[in-house]
Chain A
Amino acid sequence: MTPFEIVALAGAIAGLSMVLGGIWLVAKGAITMAATPHSDALSIEWKKQFRINTQVPGIAFFLVGLMFISVSLGFLKPPEVVPIEFEGQVKGVDEPVSIIVRPANWELPSNSSGQINGKVYPDFSFVVLLINAPGYEPFTTSIKVGAAGQRLARLGTLELRRKVKESDLEKKIAALPFSAPPAVANAPAFGVAQ
């Protein structure tokens, strides 16, 4: 949990405490919801444009508490994830095509002491597109993605150049001494591909 989340959660707890505490004080008779004399009315005014006048000041407990809860919920709401759309076509490839999209490298500031110390702010304004097909030259390009809202990358028609056919290769398959998991699986995998 980040410090920001802790503060926001504390605000929500404080707001809830005010509402519940207000109910408890009303029940105990410490504060009253009955109208007070006009001279005791609570008045809040801001630049003569915003003015609240109430003869029931006890209600402020509940309003302030609700405000704390609402603001905390607003801050804790996760940011909306905007998808990035890609449009295009790969032509002339008669092999299964794999398309990988990944963010551009996020670099930490360099120094000569060998220490790793820095922050990375995830930036999806540039992404790298990699198109691969067995035996074909890979296609790689970087794409600038528009700001929030318009997030569409048009790739047009792409052509890959064939280098090798499957029949050019001589298969060499050693027997496995154990049963292998399937090539495509949702199970966690190890290693990070370069």
Chain B
Amino acid sequence: MQAALGVAMLCTAPKDAAQPFMGQTVPVQGQLISRNQGPVPGLTVFLLHPMLGRSMPSITDQYGRFGWVAIPLRPEAYFLEIYWGPNLVYRQAVQVMQPLTIAPIFL
């Protein structure tokens, strides 16, 4: 259940709260960890947005870290997707309201 605790998963956001941030961008980062093997390197991570589409890919480093430096603040939730090569292994909603460090994702 650490994965459930790890990610800031909010599928909905207050409509009026996000409006002042429109146009701004913030950094988003996180870490991917295997329950048994430790940090997972080399996986491709995207942020997916219903209107903006797909982010530039970020690849997990030797510590399993990934991130972006300029993610637009939007009232709608993003979806974080992690791919092992072409295979999707993780997808979860993430609300980006401010610079965000996602708690470690355990798979």
Chain A binding surface SS class = loop
Query: B107: which A residues are within 8 A, CB to CB?
Result: 169-172
| Interface size classification for chain B | 35 or more
Name the CB-closest residue of A to B11: A177
Query: B70: which A residues are within 8 A, CB to CB?
Result: 190-192
Instruction: Tell me how many residues of A have a C-beta within 8 Å of chain B.
Output: 38
Q: Contact: A190 with B62, CB < 8 Å?
A: no
Q: Among B36, B41, B42, B55, which residue has its beta carbon within 8 angstroms of that of A189?
A: B55
**A to B contact number (C-beta, < 8 Å):** 139
Query: B86: which A residues are within 8 A, CB to CB?
Result: 96, 183
In the complex with contacts A135-B40, A191-B71, A194-B69, A172-B59 CB distance below 8 A: no
Name the CB-closest residue of B to A182: B54
Query: A163: which B residues are within 8 A, CB to CB?
Result: 37-41
Known: A166-B84, A192-B69. 4 other contacts (CB 8 A): A164-B38, A174-B93, A177-B50, A190-B53
Binding site for A on B (CB under 8 A): 3, 27-29, 34-44, 46-50, 52-59, 61-62, 66-72, 79, 81, 83-93, 107
